[in-house]
Amino acid sequence: MYNVALVIEDKCVAKKGCRLCILYCPEANTLDLNTERMVAEVIIARCKGCELCVVVCNAAKHMAIDMVAVSADGSLMRSKGESAALGQAYQG
């Protein structure tokens, strides 16, 4: 299992001109603007999970990118319940 970035479209402010994550992603053709929906979009198969996009998006206080786990069959484990469970595990 590994993690990839996933844009939370409701929070993304690309329509207002933000391109921070797109500028900072070190992997070519991995994070780009979806010009139909005017949100940033991660090409999941190319994402290396470095989290740089999360850092810059959070630094700008947009909080519009989550890291999500990819299961062995390639599906994204992105339900809020699963995220909460992971967080609780770290609270000891």
CB of 71 to ligand SF4, least distance (A): 17
Q: Does the protein bind ligand SF4 through residue 68 (CB under 6 A)?
A: no
Answer yes or no whether residue 50 interacts with ligand SF4 by CB under 6 A. Answer: yes
Percentage helix, strand, coil for the chain under 3-state DSSP, each rounded to 5:
35, 25, 45
- Phi/psi of residue 41, nearest 5 degrees: -140, 135
Question: Per rule CB under 6 A, is residue 5 in the interface with ligand SF4?
Answer: yes
Q: Of 61-69, 72-80, 81-89, which part binds ligand SF4 (CB under 6 A)?
A: 61-69
The least distance separating ligand SF4 from the CB of residue 76, rounded to whole angstroms, comes to 13
Binding of residue 32 to ligand SF4 (CB under 6 A)? no
Kindly state the tokens that stand for 47.
Answer: 């994402």
Stretch that binds ligand SF4, among 17-25, 68-76, 77-85 (CB under 6 A): 17-25
How far CA 31 is from CA of 1, 13, 61, 80, 88, in Å, comes to 21, 15, 19, 23, 30
Cβ atoms of 80 and 54 within 8 Å: the answer is: no
